[in-house]
Structure 1
Amino acid sequence: MHVATGYAFHSGELALQKRDGTAETASRLNSYIKTEIDVVLGRNDFFHELRTVYMSTIDESGNLWVSEISGESGFLHAQDPKTLTVKMSKAMVVPGDPFLENVERSKDRRVGMIAIKFDIARRYRTNGTLSAFSPDGDVAVSVEEAFGNCPKYIQHRKIVGRRTQMGIETLSGERLSPEAMAQISNSNTFFLGTINKNGNSDLSHRGGYEGFIQAKSPTEIEWPEYGGNGMFMSLGNLMNDRRASLLFVDHEKSGDVLQVTGEAECEWGRTDVEGTGRVMRFKVKECKLHPCASPYEWMFEEYSKYNVAHNQGNPMKPKSELFPLSVKLAQVDSANKSGSVRKMIFWGSTSICFKPGQYMSFNLKHPTGTLNRTWTLTRPPRNGGGDFQFEIYVKRLENGTASVWMHEIDVLTYHEVSAIGGDLSPFIGLDELPKEIVLVSAGIGITPAISILRGLEGHKDVTVRFFHSERHEEDRCFADELLSAAERNENLRVILTVTDHAEPLEDGRIRGRINKGLLDQNMDFERSDCHAYLCGPGEFMSDISYSLVELGIPTAQIHTEDFTF
């Protein structure tokens, strides 16, 4: 059993993927876009903890609006994989916001939604059609597209209480007031709503240091469009339909909520803007400023590690910020028998802290332009949690612009690292290491699993089950290391499978995919306290997650690779 897929990139998205050289990455991430909510991967638990969600709707005149909906824990619920429900009896809409009027009266029933947990930098996007509405009951959305989104540019903040004083007025107009312009220019976070060619609304998030977005005039807003996941969903939408909407919320200070609707377009080839060659221009059609209208008070914790310092400077940027970091390629080796994977070791000028299982993002200076790509750090840090030596494994992908180039470059060349991140690790977010750990991977997804296993080397009291599936044995990395580690550690069991039906099996290999039966046979321990860490294609992780839940591992203890979100 697996979560249904079926999303096809439209012409606008495909054109921009080709233009920016991200078609390879977008194709890989396409399998993560589902036609239903992936509840088994913990999305319902994720929804239940939220007290704010952001939704886009279309009014009777065809204008797009983005709204903040707040409520008690549990106000957002996925009653089944195809239905997302906002329980209005537990929710609050900003006074003067057109949301309720839009869902009740508009003939255009398209809705976009983004659920975001600022404290852990994770977000989940859901697009669909309104299927039910009741002012005192539920707003139900029939889900058509659902996917986790990358954690880039999410500032870390958390709710600390409710506001004691709330505003009730709404200031509307066709031009931004000085107060609205100031709020925009002081923002480090906003939301962007667009409409795609397939007929769905889409809602995304933007972030940066204060000042990265500017109100150039009462009718013009401009911001640099930093690199994201390479799918170009928002910009691709705007290639076909320029209607757009922005939402700004002053989370930590005034609680002011600013909604703006209008049109947007992208200007390419801007070499004067740091961190990107693209600038978005937004033309204001109408705006609504709701003073002190957001019900929760937030506390700012830290900026995203991915933020780009803009050309106006940033006095609030932490002095300890190390990125971008120049690193030197010091060593390359073939990492498997087929030569499809290349081991690459880089040296930096300073030691950087990271955990086993985390990844490193590169800004590659490719001949066609800058490419942003991410690879797992396969060697845990050596010195007090930090290191200046970084090891990655790069799989050569057919027609892969970045991976082919990474297989051709020589040692002693310099490259730029933009961030280290990710939370696919038992060394992050837990008070102590689990006593039972399951590592499941397919193909090059083995890299975070091997990093975690290497990090556990000194913890002989932890029981580990390591499952890895490869189509062809000659493509497998780390096989000898895994089998040798299992011989040394009685608490480690390694299960290697080959999915090619015609290939002769080497000793100890199993033919076929990793499935529920194979997992059950080898998980001979108490499962309610076990944590599982998965990396591989989207459908593979969904299938394995369903199996692990059925075998007794709680959904909250099933973790998947983070940089695909």
Structure 2
Amino acid sequence: MDRYHQGSLAVQERVGVRELAEHVGRSIGPGIRDVAAAFLALQPHLVVGAADGAGRLWASLLTGAPGFARATGPDRIAVRGGLPDGDPLAGALAADGTRVGTIALDPRTRRRMRLNGTLAVTPGGFAVAAEEVFSNCPKYLQKRQPLSLAADGPGVVRRSSALTPDQERAVRAADTFFVATTAGAGGADASHRGGMPGFVEVLSPTGLRWPDYPGNAMFLTLGNLAVDDRAGLLFPDWEGGGLLQLSGRARTEFGADGGRSVRFRVESVVESLHPGRLLWSAPEYSPANPAVPANPAVLPGGAADRPHRGRTTR
């Protein structure tokens, strides 16, 4: 199988990790191993990335009792339920043939699993025929413990085309977000980004930037952005139950010292409260998180990446 498209290959070549990426990419395949199936069945959340009817990329959060998302075959998962009314991906997850990227992340164990494929509507939910299944290392994952279920909320509470001052503060305080990208006909992908609070810089009500920390050398996210600049971001409020979803355009900036950052332009904002979502404890930060520069203007990417130079890259 072709593990990478031209976008990922180009980034791998530019960074100088092509051989390593080929080795790491052998872990990508359509099969769901028993250990992955067992992991998925324990998760109360599933992040899904896809395009809405207008072509905008979004990342959304599905919630349910453990077992609501489970493997039903060697290359297929089933998900019970759907998204709350007003979620920008509610329509896409109710349409056969939607290309989706999913990620199940367990803050208790710092483990994650990604599965990308094609959606089929089923009674009471949907299924995904897997095309790519793989796991990532625990880098930059904050550890949390589950506490309680969120009370019923009003669903979507605000839509706009730019961040409010409160939303800007939430982004600056974030230690975790998820990013949905696509390679067009190559399908969708959902990935995780983590770091110390402040690692996502707010440049303006419609502009964000974050460093691209070293990861697994595959460059699936940056590779997708190299061929299609659409992206969707999801910022969860772990302790309060709220969600901040952003859709827009992103591009990678390469620094002269070899560092990288991603600049994101906000086009659409949805803020919501998800009823029934699990609330989590304050984080135990990953020991892999780089320190956040005192002066973010030193970015793109370089200062935050310097302690990790020579490690594998994502």
The normalised TM-score by structure 2 is 0.90
Please tell me whether the aligned partners of residues 3 and 28 of structure 2 are also in contact (alpha carbons under 8 angstroms).
no
What's the counterpart of residue 311 of structure 2?
Answer: 372
The partner residue of 1:116 within 92, 100, 105 is: 105
1:183 correspondence with 2:122: no
What's the counterpart of residue 225 of structure 1?
Answer: 212
| Helix, strand or coil at the partner of 1:161 | strand
1:233 and 1:123, CA in 2 relative to 1: closer, same or farther beyond 3 A?
Answer: same
What's the counterpart of residue 13 of structure 2?
Answer: 18
Structure 1 Cα separation of the partners of residues 103 and 210 of structure 2: 20
What's the counterpart of residue 272 of structure 2?
Answer: 290
1:43 and 1:292, CA in 2 relative to 1: closer, same or farther beyond 3 A?
Answer: closer
What's the counterpart of residue 259 of structure 1?
Answer: 245
| Helix, strand or coil at the partner of 2:67 | coil
Deviations 1:339-360 (A, max 9, x none): xxxxxxxxxxxxxxxxxxxxxx
The residue correspondences of 1:190-205 to structure 2 (distance < 5 A) are 190-196=177-183, 199-205=186-192
Structure 2 Cα separation of the partners of residues 217 and 79 of structure 1: 45
Please tell me whether the aligned partners of residues 160 and 298 of structure 1 are also in contact (alpha carbons under 8 angstroms).
yes
- Structure 2 unmatched runs, 5+: 296-303
Structure 2 Cα separation of the partners of residues 291 and 238 of structure 1: 29
1:250 and 1:213, CA in 2 relative to 1: closer, same or farther beyond 3 A?
Answer: same
What's the counterpart of residue 75 of structure 1?
Answer: 68
Deviations 1:9-58 (A, max 9, x none): 111111111111211221111110012222x2x11210111001100121
Q: What is the Cα deviation at residue 292 of structure 1? A: 6.2
What's the counterpart of residue 132 of structure 2?
Answer: 145
One-letter code of the match for 2:246? Answer: V
Structure 1 Cα separation of the partners of residues 156 and 244 of structure 2: 12
Structure 1 Cα separation of the partners of residues 104 and 271 of structure 2: 22
| Helix, strand or coil at the partner of 1:66 | strand
Structure 2 Cα separation of the partners of residues 37 and 138 of structure 1: 20
Q: What is the Cα deviation at residue 165 of structure 1? A: 5.0
| Helix, strand or coil at the partner of 2:63 | strand
1:65 correspondence with 2:54: no
What's the counterpart of residue 310 of structure 1?
Answer: 292
What's the counterpart of residue 299 of structure 2?
Answer: none
The partner residue of 1:52 within 45, 61, 65 is: 45
One-letter code of the match for 1:10? Answer: H
Q: What is the Cα deviation at residue 199 of structure 1? A: 1.9
One-letter code of the match for 1:100? Answer: A
Structure 2 Cα separation of the partners of residues 94 and 104 of structure 1: 12
Please tell me whether the aligned partners of residues 156 and 270 of structure 2 are also in contact (alpha carbons under 8 angstroms).
no
| Helix, strand or coil at the partner of 1:190 | strand
Please tell me whether the aligned partners of residues 86 and 138 of structure 1 are also in contact (alpha carbons under 8 angstroms).
yes
Please tell me whether the aligned partners of residues 37 and 70 of structure 2 are also in contact (alpha carbons under 8 angstroms).
yes
What's the counterpart of residue 385 of structure 1?
Answer: none
Q: What is the Cα deviation at residue 270 of structure 1? A: 5.7
1:236 correspondence with 2:226: no
Q: How many residue pairs align between the two structures?
A: 304
Structure 1 Cα separation of the partners of residues 74 and 274 of structure 2: 35
1:311 and 1:196, CA in 2 relative to 1: closer, same or farther beyond 3 A?
Answer: same
The normalised TM-score by structure 1 is 0.51
Please tell me whether the aligned partners of residues 118 and 156 of structure 1 are also in contact (alpha carbons under 8 angstroms).
yes
Between structure 1 and structure 2, the one with the greater Rg is 1
Deviations 1:204-263 (A, max 9, x none): 0000000000221111111111111011110011110001000000102x2220010111
Q: What is the Cα deviation at residue 149 of structure 1? A: 1.4
One-letter code of the match for 1:99? Answer: L
Structure 2 Cα separation of the partners of residues 161 and 291 of structure 1: 15
Deviations 1:300-350 (A, max 9, x none): 34111110101128xxxxxxxxxx9xxxxxxxxxxxxxxxxxxxxxxxxxx
1:299 correspondence with 2:294: no
| Helix, strand or coil at the partner of 1:100 | coil
Structure possessing the higher relative contact order (Cα contacts under 8 Å, 6 or more residues apart): 2
After superposition, the CA RMSD in angstroms is: 2.2
Please tell me whether the aligned partners of residues 44 and 66 of structure 2 are also in contact (alpha carbons under 8 angstroms).
yes
One-letter code of the match for 1:46? Answer: F
One-letter code of the match for 2:109? Answer: I
Structure 1 Cα separation of the partners of residues 292 and 39 of structure 2: 33
1:155 correspondence with 2:142: yes
1:188 and 1:54, CA in 2 relative to 1: closer, same or farther beyond 3 A?
Answer: same
1:9 and 1:297, CA in 2 relative to 1: closer, same or farther beyond 3 A?
Answer: same
Please tell me whether the aligned partners of residues 103 and 133 of structure 1 are also in contact (alpha carbons under 8 angstroms).
no
One-letter code of the match for 1:14? Answer: L
Structure 1 Cα separation of the partners of residues 274 and 173 of structure 2: 16
Deviations 1:104-158 (A, max 9, x none): 25x8610010011111111110000112244xx1211111111111211000012
Please tell me whether the aligned partners of residues 256 and 293 of structure 1 are also in contact (alpha carbons under 8 angstroms).
no
The partner residue of 1:28 within 20, 23, 31 is: 23
The partner residue of 1:8 within 3, 12, 21 is: 3
What's the counterpart of residue 129 of structure 1?
Answer: 118
| Helix, strand or coil at the partner of 1:170 | strand
Q: What is the Cα deviation at residue 98 of structure 1? A: 2.3
One-letter code of the match for 2:119? Answer: L
The partner residue of 1:210 within 194, 197, 200 is: 197
| Helix, strand or coil at the partner of 1:156 | coil
Structure 2 Cα separation of the partners of residues 147 and 182 of structure 1: 33
Q: What is the Cα deviation at residue 68 of structure 1? A: 0.7
Structure 1 Cα separation of the partners of residues 85 and 166 of structure 2: 19
One-letter code of the match for 1:175? Answer: A
